[in-house]
Chains A and B, each alone.
Chain A
């Protein structure tokens, strides 16, 4: 892709196959000869890291499903049986649970990379939108997967999230019952979540295929944001980026393994080691850490907006926070891709990252508690929610017009060989 194929099959079997099903050619053009900008930094390694983690999750997940029992009386104990009695079951369970967290860490870094280097801009809008679709599917998969151990947080987290649907006017309660398969979170819910949790990763894999396809048509973006112009701007993917990505993947795996083997429960919640109990609500229901920023946005809307009550407002804000990413390519009015050349926007971006982490911090805490100096977590969350939306709806559209970008190099080659490495 991205130019004519240079694959040259050997005479005999390979040519015979290539004339009938050019699958080797596809692999060669996509992952061997694929022209890649020569100036990619390590932020570009997270695509490869994510691919590895999707595979880790699918392989450990399929194996765990061979031992897991999706029954409300047996699910919790079946996990204990896996970690205690299934040979190396503790390893599978720890890899799968921590793998979800490290999958999300990588996807967040990957998305911030895209935001900073303008990876969503023409001609990569579809590529970006497919990425947001993958992210949404990951959220759904992670949420349903967290329900399966059937601990207290599983159960009550599922209760809180499915109850959000009930906020939709008129049809909300009917949809909620349809989701539950009953009148509360129960056996039917657990069983269908298991089924969907098994299904969705394969849909993710399919959309990842589209994502890579959409990537390989315009080719990779790069840190200076200048399009590839000549062959001198690029290097073949193999061996240059297989070895560079490979190194980054190994570093990331080391951090992952440190968690898997030495602190397997650090990212989980103690309450999930108590079996689900419909009669006892935990004092604090918190979702998995990777949803905390959105949980904070949900709880930040504590006031009615016209005919929309606070609960529905919170739900709309939470889903709006993701939905806005779909239209981002048309909200950013600047033609300059990389923020290296956008001195003002760059600072707003840095504050956006800090704000997103801050929202996560708010999501982990009780809204009425004090952050510092008499400021409630609720107020901080409200301020950061405002900034989150303002970044997309005000800052990017306006700055793209008023900001004067710094001079950019004429080509990737010049930026690499020249002195102006911003």
Chain B
């Protein structure tokens, strides 16, 4: 079919310019990692009984390490227990009833900000499942004042960096003890091989055994990087599994339908010279 060849060529041309943009804005190559969520059939499931171990471990890292600076503004506790989420469970289709999610909300290190409806005063209270993840800081000014730089929100971080999950992983593992000669790293700054410009305000975080995984997995820096990036990939795209599942069905339908239409076309045009 002539038409399919032309489509392929057009798409290749598009891909070419897209790749050029990616290479340009990042400046260097990033190692491709074999993520469990890659490809049309990739999911966040990595256990024999539909467990989502890596995303759960990644959430533990967000909770114990990242959350002491970074917000997760777009997400609520309930998202953890929704379909495709780290603690999704068939038993508790409604995340409000999911005991793991309830516990995470109730034990969150930071209080939810609210207003007392009787007095009108600003109060802090224990987070509920329906709340957004509370941030350690009151606002961006306080964060910048305290830390010297504004830590980016992590809800969309995997989508918001060219190179995506591969780049975030390379960044987390990209810290070196010594900057190359001639590069001055100021106080409160760190040298990172993956970061465009190399000088970054965030300190290295992933040290051997920094967390004690609930499932007993050895907490190497690579393991921790894989887990947190998998969690963040889910956080940026919580309906990924539903999207891919529907996609397979839609493409199968279109394939069958187009075969039928093609046969109809052959029959209708059978005795027509054209």
Contact = CB atoms under 8 A, between A and B. Distances in A.
Interface residues of B, number: 53
Contacts of A261: 40, 243-244, 246-248, 250-251
B238 interface: yes
Interface string B132-174: 0000000000000000000010011001111010000000000
Contacts of A80: 74, 155-156
Contact of B243 (A91, A283, A284): A91
Nearest to A358: B13
B16 interface: yes
B273 A286 contact: no
Given A257-B247, A261-B251, A361-B17, A77 B74 contact: yes
The 10 nearest A-B residue pairs measured at CB: A261-B247, A273-B160, A250-B258, A364-B17, A273-B159, A270-B162, A42-B3, A273-B156, A243-B265, A247-B261
B239 interface: yes
B207 interface: no
A215 to B, nearest CB: 20
B257 interface: yes
A363 B21 CA distance: 10
A257 B250 contact: yes
A90 B246 CA distance: 12
Given A84-B238, A240-B268, A240-B269, A254 B247 contact: no
Range for the number of chain A residues in contact with chain B: 35 or more
Given A38-B272, A267-B18, A90 B3 contact: no
A235 interface: yes
B18 A289 contact: yes
Nearest to A42: B3
A262 B152 CA distance: 27
Interface of B: 2-4, 6-7, 10-11, 13-18, 20-21, 24-25, 40, 74, 79, 152, 155-156, 159-162, 164, 196, 236, 238-239, 242-244, 246-248, 250-251, 254-255, 257-258, 261-262, 264-265, 268-269, 272-274
A262 B249 CA distance: 12
B160 A257 contact: no
A83 B160 contact: no
B239 A251 contact: no
Contacts of A309: none
Contact of A267 (B14, B239, B257): B14
A416 B13 CA distance: 34
A167 to B, nearest CB: 25
Nearest to B274: A38
A73 interface: no
A39 B274 contact: yes
A292 B269 CA distance: 40
6 contacts: A84-B79, A243-B268, A244-B265, A251-B7, A270-B161, A283-B196
A311 interface: no
B73 to A, nearest CB: 8
A250 B16 CA distance: 25
A272 to B, nearest CB: 8
Contacts of B261: 243, 246-247, 250
